[in-house]
Amino acid sequence: MLKLYGFHVSNYFNMVKLALLEKGFEFEEVRTYPSQEPQFLAMSPMGKIPCLEAREGFLTETAAILEFLEDVTPEVPLLPADPFARAKVRELMRVCELYIELPARRLYSGNNTQQTIDEVKPLVERGLKALGRLAQFGPYLAGRDFSYADIVAYHSFGAVARTMRMVYGWEVMDEVAGLADWYKAVANRPIVHQLDSTIADERQSFFSKQSGE
Ligand SMILES: N[C@@H](CCC(=O)N[C@@H](CS)C(=O)NCC(=O)O)C(=O)O
């Protein structure tokens, strides 16, 4: 059986978990924190989560894991069959990760210099504009079908929206026409909704332990 290492405070872990659930895999979750311990580095070479253990071995990097899951279960597609449509979904995934999630991530620690604060907002603005130019909202990002683009974007926007609100008082979901309705459409999918309650519970217990409550 597949094993998924990580925990729900990681948005990348949540992307892979959602893909596993949507595709109907049986899998075991192993609560694991990022680490530079040799034992974990043997599984996850950067010491990051998520890490997937398959029959063949360990796999890291969310995009690589998602592609693997698609290759082994094409009958429950989260990428379109048509090569160009498939590439368009990957384009959305990349734009979301490289130009929205990664710049925003620079602020996640909360311990931000003014320089970082000044640098990040224009980067995220540019990424959001690109997303707005690409997204179909039909109702999903790449059109009628729910895809990996939705999974990656949905689990990026939770943290991005929270951080942008906290740091700049900026409501990013209002920045792109259609984004807020798309977010609701994804949130209303039964599997997403169920996973979101688990994530909320785990976030709450993680952050209350961290703040010593
Ligand atoms: N590029 C990686 C990013 C994963 C990632 O950044 N995971 C975070 C948790 S959300 C992590 O493990 N951080 C610890 C670290 O960077 O050392 C992927 O696509 O899976």
Whole-number Å distance between alpha carbons of 184 and 212: 33
Give the position, in ligand 1's atom list, of the atom nearest the Cα of 65: 20
Residue 78 lies in a domain: no
- Of 109, 128, 111, 141, nearest in space to 170 by CA: 128
- Residue 102 has a CB neighbour count (10 Å cut-off) of 14
Residue 117 lies in a domain: yes
Question: Which residues contact residue 189 at a Cβ distance below 8 angstroms, ignoring those fewer than 6 apart?
Answer: 146
Which residue from 14, 17, 46, 48 has its CB within 8 A of the most atoms of ligand 1, so it is best to mutate? 48
Residue nearest to atom 2 of ligand 1 (CA): 61
Task: Say yes or no: 125 and 187 in one domain.
Answer: yes
Residue nearest to atom 9 of ligand 1 (CA): 10
Structural domain harbouring 156: 83-210
- Of 72, 95, 128, the residue at which a domain comes to its end is 72
Residue 129 lies in a domain: yes
48 CA distance to ligand 1 middle (Å):
5
- Of 43, 72, 101, the residue at which a domain comes to its end is 72
* Tokens 């009958």 sit on residue: 75
Block means of pLDDT (10 residues each) for the chain, 213 residues, are: 96 98 98 97 98 98 98 98 98 98 94 96 98 97 98 96 96 96 97 94 80 62
Task: Say yes or no: 63 and 88 in one domain.
Answer: no
Residues touching ligand 1 (Cβ under 6 Å) are 10-12, 34, 47-50, 61-63
What pLDDT is stored for residue 110 in this prediction?
83
Task: Say yes or no: 22 and 87 in one domain.
Answer: no
Task: Say yes or no: 51 and 23 in one domain.
Answer: yes
15 CA distance to ligand 1 middle (Å):
12
Whole-number Å distance between alpha carbons of 75 and 82: 14
pTM, full prediction: 0.95
Task: Say yes or no: 127 and 54 in one domain.
Answer: no
6 CA distance to ligand 1 middle (Å):
10
Which residues on neighbouring strands pair with residue 60, listed in sequence order?
51
Domain count, the chain: 2
What pLDDT is stored for residue 204 in this prediction?
82
What pLDDT is stored for residue 211 in this prediction?
67
Residue nearest to atom 11 of ligand 1 (CA): 48
Which residue from 4, 35, 49 has its CB within 8 A of the most atoms of ligand 1, so it is best to mutate? 49
What six digits make up the tokens of 126? 């540019």
- Of 17, 43, 72, the residue at which a domain comes to its end is 72
What six digits make up the tokens of 55? 């029959």
Residue 159 lies in a domain: yes
Q: CATH number for the domain including 164?
A: 1.20.1050.10
46 CA distance to ligand 1 middle (Å):
8
